[in-house]
Amino acid sequence: MPALRDDHPLHSRTNASGLVRAYRGDRPEITPVWFMRQAGRSLPEYRELRQRTDRPGRNMLDTCLDPALASEITLQPVRRHGVDAAIFFSDIMVPLRLVGVDVTIEPGVGPVMGSAIRTPEDVDRLVALDPAVLDEALEPVREGVRQTVAGLAEIGDGSTPLIGFAGAPFTLAAYLIAGRPSKDHLEARTLMRSHPDAWDRLSRWAGDVTGRFLRAQVEEGASAAQLFDSWAGSLPLEQYREHVAPASRLALDAVRDLTDAAGRRVPLVHFGVGAGELYSAMDLDVDAVGVDWRVPLDVALERIDADVTVQGNLDPAVLGAPWEIVEAAIDHVMMAGSVARAHVFNLGHGVPPTTDPAVLTRIVQAVHAR
C-alpha cells in the first residue's frame, strides 16, 4: 500500500487527535465534536468575507475553487467554536464541473445542470468525459487543502485534523438525471429500474469522479475522508444494495490504500440522510458510520451490525430551542453513543444557516465537559 507523503499530518500532528482515535475505535477521554456544514452561512465572518470577495458573475463553485478563500472559510469555525476537526469547504459538484459537466449552483435552488441525463444515450455521452482529467484539474482543491493544513497547524496545539469529503455516486447521479434538486428522485430511480446497464455505467463513472476528488484531499493532508449520500434514503434496501452500494464502495476504494507511517489507513466515514432502513448495507468496510437525527445511535448500531464508530446525531432543529432542551438532547445522544466502540458527536445533518453560532460553541464546550 502506498504511504502518504512524508509531511502528511497523520504521520505526526493529527495521529493522536481525539477525532482520529475515535474513528479508529480507540475511545478518547473527551468525546470529539464537529458539525456538518459548520463553515459557511451561519457565521458572520463568512458572510462578511463573501461580501468583500463576491463580484458579478461569481458562482459558489468559483469560491470553492479559490484556494485562499476555501481555506479561510474552512478554518473559521475551528477558530470560533473550538471543534475537534475542520471539514474542507467545497461542494460535491466541484469534480463534476472540473470533469466537464455544465453545472452551476443557483442561490435558493441548488445544483442545476445544463441538461439532464435521462436516456442510455445521454449516459454514454456523459461517461465519455474522462475522469482522468481530474488528476490535473483538481490542483485548486489540492492547493486549498495544503493551505488549510498549514493554517490548522497554527491553531491551538496544531493537532486539529482536516476531514476530506465527497458526494456519494447516487447523490451525484440523482442531480445529473433530474437536472436539479428533486424531492423524490423519481427520475434517478426510474433510470435505475428501466435501464440498469446504463445506470451501472453512470454510477460507476460518478464513483470514479468523486473518488478522485476524495483522494486529492487526502493526499494533500486530510486526515479522514467522509462520503456523503444525501439522497440514499429514497431507496429500498435491496435496490440500494444491488445498484448503489457497489459504486459507493468504488469511491471509498479510491483512498482505501493510503496509509500512515504505521501502515494504518486513513479513517473512512460513510453518511446517508434518511438511511435508517439501509444501515445493514452501509458499512462498506468503513471505520465510522454517520447517523442522521431520525434513528437513535444505539438503534442504528444494532442495524449496522458491525464494529464501527458512530457519528452524530443531534437533531438540527434542537439548535433553536432553549438551552435546557439542547442540553438534554446532548445527554440523550451521548448516552446512545456510549454503546459504540467510540462516538464522534455531530448533528444529524448540516448546520441550518439561521443557527446562532454561540449555540454551537456552547455545544462543543458541553460535549467536552461530559
Annotated catalytic residue 200: no
Pick the catalytic residue: 41, 118, 142, 201? Answer: 41
CA angle at residue 88 from 83 to 93, to 5 degrees? 140
Phi, psi of 224 (to 5 degrees): -155, 165
Residue with cell string 448540516: 350
DSSP state letters, 236-271: -HHHHHHHTHHHHHHHHHHHHT-B-TTSPBPPEEEE
Pick the catalytic residue: 91, 229, 287, 292? Answer: 91
Nearest to 310 by CA among 293, 327, 288: 288
Give the span between the Cα atoms of 343 and 225, in whole angstroms: 16
Annotated catalytic residue 41: yes
Pick the catalytic residue: 13, 21, 23, 37? Answer: 37
Annotated catalytic residue 91: yes
Give the span between the Cα atoms of 230 and 336, in whole angstroms: 23
Residues 302 and 336 sit within 8 Å (Cβ to Cβ):
no
What kind and span of H or E run contains 345? Answer: strand 343-347
CA atoms within 13 A on the CB side of 147: 18
At 319, is the secondary structure helix, strand, or coil? helix
CA angle at residue 237 from 205 to 116, to 5 degrees? 35
Annotated catalytic residue 23: no
Pick the catalytic residue: 27, 50, 341, 362? Answer: 50
DSSP state letters, 272-312: ETT-TTTGGG--TT-SEEE--TTS-HHHHHHHH-SS-EEEE
Pick the catalytic residue: 23, 46, 175, 279? Answer: 175
User: Catalytic residue numbers?
Assistant: 37, 41, 50, 91, 175
